[in-house]
Chain A
Amino acid sequence: MTDILVYALHYEGAFNKNSLGAVSEASRLAAQIGGEAHALVLGQGVSDDLAAQLGTYGAAKVFRAEGPEGLAQPVVDAMAKVIGDHGHGYALFGGGLLGFEIGAGLAARMNAGVVMEVTQVNVEDAKLVAERPILGDSSISQVRYDGELGIIIGRLNAFEASREDPAGPATVEDVEVAYQAFSTSATMIKRGEQRGADINIEDASVLIAGGRGLGKAEGFELLDDLAAAFGGAVAATRAVVDAGWFPYAGQIGQTGKTVAPKLYLAAGISGAIQHKVGMQASENIVAINKDANAPIFEFSDLGIVGDLNKIVPKLTEAVKAKKG
């Protein structure tokens, strides 16, 4: 009997899509290794209803802990307590950011192996084997675990959430956690601040995405024109959102939006994995980058090696002319 414990991240009354994916994945895997999928939620006054919802996605039991939200270390304490009492064989996290911090902290706490950016989990001899792409996704490693606990942190969108049929609500069990002093010494002052305008990039069929290669905030004007010519929207990388050049609502990637437009056109974007995970399902990927070695060319359908400042304005005119 090997049970799997999933951390389910929630915010403003809803679970994170990647956490739900992890619950479904755990349920699928647990069935193959003769165990159950369990989930842990931690927060201030998490309702029975919310916690029990995880049953719909495959959790047989939900452990509920009272504690500060949005920080990793309290969750490490809670998971260590639950795993210590119950003896789960694996801990599983969906893609994002908090799960990386929690999973790594838990590995230290419980002397366990941890692997992150996992894209697939297989079962071999009733044990889990994680697939982890390495070296810019040019190779995929198989990772197995020694010891009593294995920790798997998924890549963004690696695990799909699916509703169980028939779905039963999970039993909810409250856990008392004796938090470590250092785990609760940080204070969340403000969470989930939306910097910049509330734009919509998820419904556009054409996305023109810009990155640090635009050079400055005004560089986005070039992309506004091109997007207007297509009748599409403009999106961005974390680098330019962090720099304050573009609204957070328009960010694609690991800590931003996941998009899959008909056409995704990148200008001045290197194609980091954390960006790629949010747009790789796009139907047609076009990239303009002056560096022929940029990773984005590894996954674009059409790559243009050149200066965006020269190409984009001409392309805008040509698209306008063609569309009439």
Chain B
Amino acid sequence: MPDWNKVVHDHLGGLDLQADERAEIVEELAGHLEEIFDDLRRQGFSEEDATRGCLLEVEDWRGLGLRIEAARRKESPMNNRVRQFWLPGLLTFTLSMGLLAVAEIYGPKPWILRSGNPPIMVVHIPWLLGLPVVGAIGAFLSRRAGGSRRAIFSSIVFPVVPYLAAILFISPVVLGFDHFIAHSPMPAAIPMAVLGLVLTPGVALLAGGLPAQLFFSRRLDSRRIASR
């Protein structure tokens, strides 16, 4: 008979829990596998087949470990929303801003797109090229914290949300006062701002974030309900 304690320990020995709690979980799960093994042997299965049958109980040990950690972990001061959305979101925002500052200071001259006079769009190519990595980091952190698809998506695009909010806030004011300002360029600048500050960086963030989400979803499988 396989040493089930060793089998479980090999897979779950690194659980992020207290040592005694971890040892109890390993013992309990090993006992469960031992019972299945004995049951299969009593039904006439060979030792090899019974072992195989036991191992089918867990398709994804890593996912099981994550779900056990989530279930057993003491409540931390950070709730799920903080871990799954706010923390990854603020980190992607900080990284995005830092990257933009670095691109502005040390990067090559930005690409300037003119559309009318004077609405322009300033594009920092190194910043855009770095954003997919930022999006991927946001997706990874949110996914690792067990975030839903919506939380992951929000974490990825979080850096453009303040821009979008600012534009949405400013636009009605600009449009409202436009009649009183002669030759105001602002209404024409709004679409340029949306394009340059929201859509383009948003697409760049998603270009890295969405593939990362798919990749990590496969690795960090989190089946939450019982198989039927």
A, B from the same assembly: no
Residues of B near any A CB (own CB < 8 A): none
* A residues at B contact (CB < 8 Å): none
